[in-house]
Structure 1
Amino acid sequence: MHAFDLVSPTTLEDALTALAEEEAQPLAGGQTLIPTLKSRLAAPSKLVSLRAIRDLQGLRVTDDLLCIGAMTTHATVAAQARDIYPALADMAANIGDPAVRNRGTIGGSLANNDPSACYPSAVLASGATIITPQRSIAADEFFQGMFFTDLEEDEIITEVRFPIPVSASYQKFWQPASRFALTGVFVARFADAVRVAVTGASEAGVFRWQDAEAALADEFSPNSVEALARPSEDMIADLHGSGSYRAHLTQVLTARAVAAQLP
Structure 2
Amino acid sequence: MYDFDVVRPKSIEEAVEALSREEAQPLAGGQTLIPTLKARLAAPSVLVSLSGIDGMKGVRRDDAGRLCIGGGTTHAEVMREAEAHYPGLASLAARIGDPAVRNRGTIGGSLANNDPSACYPAAALASRAVIVSDRREVAADDFFDGMFGTALEEGEIITEVRFAVPAAARYEKFIQPASRFPLVASFVARFDDELRVAITGASEDGVFRWDAAETALAGNFAPDALDGLRPGEDGMISDLHGSGAYRAHLVGVMTRRAVAALL
TM-score (norm 1): 0.99
8 A Cα contact 2:230 2:251, kept in partner = no
Q: Count matched residues.
A: 262
Letter in 2 for 1:89: A
SS at structure 2 position matched to 1:68: strand
Equivalence for 1:78: 79
SS at structure 2 position matched to 1:84: coil
Equivalence for 2:153: 152
Q: How does 1:37-56 map to 2 (within 5 A)?
A: 37-56=37-56
Q: Are positions 1:117 and 2:118 aligned together?
A: yes
8 A Cα contact 2:71 2:159, kept in partner = yes
CA deviation after TM superposition for structure 1 residue 154, in Å: 1.6
Equivalence for 1:36: 36
Unaligned runs of 5+ in 2: none
8 A Cα contact 2:173 2:254, kept in partner = yes
8 A Cα contact 2:28 2:109, kept in partner = yes
- Determine the C-alpha separation between the residues in 1 that align with 2:22 and 2:217: 48
CA deviation after TM superposition for structure 1 residue 227, in Å: 2.6
Unaligned runs of 5+ in 1: none
CA deviation string 1:67-95 (max 9, x = no partner) = 00000000000011011100100010000
- Determine the C-alpha separation between the residues in 1 that align with 2:232 and 2:75: 32
CA deviation after TM superposition for structure 1 residue 243, in Å: 0.6
CA deviation after TM superposition for structure 1 residue 259, in Å: 0.9
- Determine the C-alpha separation between the residues in 1 that align with 2:224 and 2:193: 20
Equivalence for 2:19: 19
Q: How does 1:203-242 map to 2 (within 5 A)?
A: 203-242=204-243
CA deviation after TM superposition for structure 1 residue 197, in Å: 0.4
Equivalence for 1:163: 164
- Determine the C-alpha separation between the residues in 2 that align with 1:200 and 1:229: 15
Equivalence for 2:137: 136
- Determine the C-alpha separation between the residues in 1 that align with 2:116 and 2:59: 25
Percent identity for Structure 1 against Structure 2: 64
Q: How does 1:236-251 map to 2 (within 5 A)?
A: 236-251=237-252
- Determine the C-alpha separation between the residues in 2 that align with 1:165 and 1:17: 37
Q: How does 1:81-92 map to 2 (within 5 A)?
A: 81-92=82-93
- Determine the C-alpha separation between the residues in 2 that align with 1:229 and 1:102: 35
CA deviation after TM superposition for structure 1 residue 223, in Å: 1.2
Letter in 1 for 2:12: L
- Determine the C-alpha separation between the residues in 2 that align with 1:101 and 1:23: 28
Q: Are positions 1:176 and 2:180 aligned together?
A: no
CA deviation after TM superposition for structure 1 residue 229, in Å: 2.4
- Determine the C-alpha separation between the residues in 2 that align with 1:109 and 1:249: 23
Moved over 2 A (4+): none
TM-score (norm 2): 0.99
- Determine the C-alpha separation between the residues in 1 that align with 2:76 and 2:159: 18
Q: How does 1:55-66 map to 2 (within 5 A)?
A: 55-62=55-62, 63-66=64-67
SS at structure 1 position matched to 2:145: strand
Equivalence for 2:94: 93
CA deviation after TM superposition for structure 1 residue 64, in Å: 1.0
